[in-house]
């Protein structure tokens, strides 16, 4: 029996000719990543180990993004811990205020991940990098510590589900709508510890930003990772952002999948996940009259350049509804700067929105947009659990940047078509 893309990457990094689903392996790592919340825990775990050095200063990266700039004393102490660790071990890739960005947008942008890599990160949305044809997955801080020291990690080889994408998305339908549709279809545990492999002629109609968004939320379906084939768009992205050599792996024709789903992109509509699970999805036309208090456009899911342009296209010449707070967060400094050069920040501010420095901020209920009891927020983030963005009696509705921006204008959950 043949192997999937993910299985081939894992086999190569384990030094094996083949692997099978369920097999336990030890694999070499190309990158180990941590942030300002998870890294201090990993550093403390590392202190318990015999070796007190990182395996490769070029292959361990720390990104300060969750509470940056620091929101309080605790977050300042966490970043100080990370900063001192990075200096002590002379890490080549440490990102803080001034060069910061949300980790899962920043690492591909900096060219630190390419096709064929095996990557772990102490953050559940590390699965984002599968858009480049890499195996990437989130781990706990203890596994991060072991990875930093040894350059290796243990894995149970995942079985796979294949999503055959066909057709071309309609205007205002993006990668966020695709992955919300899939999660609504299979559930938040529908791909538990499985590789979600996206294939088909419809892939060519998805931008790299769409693919990053789709892989980012693989974990919301319980997936071990999400992964796309490496096509011309992926190669062009890597050549633009990285000088590293990459390796393309392709699934065998006889690779085994636990299930195969066909997704007709042309049939999809703008989709929103209602509280309090990403699987609680509704399509345009079935939203009802849901008034909102806040809109957040940003995060590791939807804070990229394409997302900024889409939001600006909707907000151009319009005003945020009275009583609605609209918060826009470019995912990296480079995206922030490009948004400024293209006049998008001016569009946002003239519309009545505020623009934040890159941060995870409100996504995890951190800061820059915490909700009070009874408040509702349309957000381009990835989770809408109870209390995710603040008070346990608040509500989060997950949506694309287009829907979020339109909702900011109308004051209720809306599609851009409703503004025309």
Tens digit of pLDDT for each residue in 302-357?
999 999 999 999 999 999 999 999 999 999 999 999 999 999 999 999 999 999 99
Would residue 45 count as lying in a domain? yes
pLDDT band at residue 413 using 50, 70 and 90 as cut-offs: very high
Q: How many structural domains are present in the chain?
A: 2
On whether both 119 and 201 belong to a single domain, the answer is: yes
Q: Tell me what pLDDT residue 306 has.
A: 97
Contact partners, residue 146, CB within 8 Å, separation at least 6: 45, 49, 152, 153
On whether both 407 and 382 belong to a single domain, the answer is: yes
Contact partners, residue 133, CB within 8 Å, separation at least 6: 5, 115, 116, 227, 228, 229, 230, 234, 246, 248, 249
On whether both 109 and 236 belong to a single domain, the answer is: yes
- Domain holding 247: CATH number? 3.30.499.10
Q: Tell me what pLDDT residue 162 has.
A: 97
Q: Tell me what pLDDT residue 417 has.
A: 87
What percentage of the chain exceeds 70 in pLDDT? 100
For 43-74, write each residue's pLDDT tens digit: 999 999 888 899 999 999 999 999 989 999 99
Residue finishing a domain among 215, 241, 263: 263
Task: Say if CB 320 and CB 351 are below 8 A apart.
Answer: yes
Residue finishing a domain among 236, 263, 290: 263
- Beta-sheet strands, E only, within 278-400: 281-283, 294-297, 325-328, 354-355, 376-379, 395-398
On whether both 40 and 128 belong to a single domain, the answer is: yes
For 125-159, write each residue's pLDDT tens digit: 999 999 999 999 999 999 999 999 999 999 999 99
| pTM of the shown model | 0.94
On whether both 239 and 127 belong to a single domain, the answer is: yes
Q: Tell me what pLDDT residue 267 has.
A: 96
The pLDDT of residue 420 is above 80? no
On whether both 216 and 70 belong to a single domain, the answer is: yes
Would residue 268 count as lying in a domain? no
pLDDT band at residue 1 using 50, 70 and 90 as cut-offs: confident
Contact partners, residue 378, CB within 8 Å, separation at least 6: 272, 292, 294, 295, 296, 397, 399, 403, 404, 407, 408, 413
On whether both 80 and 119 belong to a single domain, the answer is: yes
On whether both 306 and 217 belong to a single domain, the answer is: no
Q: Tell me what pLDDT residue 117 has.
A: 97
DSSP for residue 49:
S
CA nearest neighbour of 382 among 397, 371, 394, 366: 397
On whether both 229 and 91 belong to a single domain, the answer is: yes
CA nearest neighbour of 375 among 275, 303, 283, 299: 275
Report the distance separating Cα 60 and Cα 86, nearest Å. Answer: 9
What is the extent of the structural domain holding 329?
273-419
Would residue 401 count as lying in a domain? yes
On whether both 314 and 177 belong to a single domain, the answer is: no
Q: Tell me what pLDDT residue 133 has.
A: 97
On whether both 91 and 33 belong to a single domain, the answer is: yes
Average pLDDT, the chain: 95
Task: Say if CB 62 and CB 34 are below 8 A apart.
Answer: yes
On whether both 141 and 193 belong to a single domain, the answer is: yes
The HSE-up count of residue 193 (CA atoms within 13 Å, CB side) is 8
Residue finishing a domain among 220, 236, 263: 263
CA quadruple 270, 274, 280, 286: dihedral sign: negative
């Amino acid at each position: 029996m043949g192997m999937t893309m993910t299985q081939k990457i894992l086999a190569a990094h384990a030094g094996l000719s083949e692997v099978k689903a369920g097999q336990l392996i030890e694999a070499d790592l190309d990158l180990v990543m941590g942030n300002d919340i998870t890294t201090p825990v990993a550093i403390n775990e590392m202190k318990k180990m015999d070796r007190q050095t990182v395996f490769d200063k070029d292959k361990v990266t720390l990104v300060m993004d969750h509470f940056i700039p620091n929101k309080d004393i605790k977050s300042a102490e966490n970043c100080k811990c990370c900063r001192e660790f990075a200096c002590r071990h002379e890490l080549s890739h440490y990102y803080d205020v001034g060069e910061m960005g949300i980790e899962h947008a920043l690492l591909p942008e900096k060219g630190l991940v390419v096709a064929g890599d095996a990557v772990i990160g102490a953050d559940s949305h590390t699965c984002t990098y599968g858009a480049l044809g890499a195996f990437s997955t989130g781990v706990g801080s203890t596994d991060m510590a072991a990875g930093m020291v040894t350059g290796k990690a243990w894995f149970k080889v995942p079985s796979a589900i294949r999503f055959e994408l066909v057709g071309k998305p309609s205007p205002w339908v993006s990668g966020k709508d695709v992955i919300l549709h899939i999660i609504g279809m299979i559930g938040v545990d529908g791909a538990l510890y499985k590789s979600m492999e996206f294939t088909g002629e419809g892939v060519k109609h998805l931008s790299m930003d769409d693919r990053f968004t789709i892989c980012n939320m693989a974990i919301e379906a319980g997936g071990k990772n999400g992964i796309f084939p490496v096509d011309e768009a992926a190669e062009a992205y890597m050549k633009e952002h990285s000088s590293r050599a990459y390796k393309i792996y392709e699934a065998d024709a006889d690779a085994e999948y636990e299930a195969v789903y066909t997704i007709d992109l042309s049939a999809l509509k703008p989709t929103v996940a209602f509280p309090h699970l990403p699987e609680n999805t509704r399509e345009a036309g079935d939203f009802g009259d849901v008034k909102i208090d806040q809109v957040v456009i940003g995060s590791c899911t939807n804070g990229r350049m394409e997302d900024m342009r889409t939001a600006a296209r909707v907000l151009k010449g319009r005003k945020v509804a009275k009583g609605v707070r609209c918060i826009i967060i470019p995912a990296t400094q480079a995206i922030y700067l490009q948004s400024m050069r293209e006049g998008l920040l001016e569009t946002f501010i003239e519309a009545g929105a505020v623009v934040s420095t890159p941060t995870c901020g409100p996504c995890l209920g951190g800061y820059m947009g915490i909700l009070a009891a009874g408040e509702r927020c349309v957000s381009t983030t990835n989770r809408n659990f109870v209390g995710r963005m603040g008070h346990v009696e608040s509500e989060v509705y997950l949506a694309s940047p287009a829907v979020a921006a339109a909702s900011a204008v109308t004051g209720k959950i809306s599609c851009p078509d409703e503004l025309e």
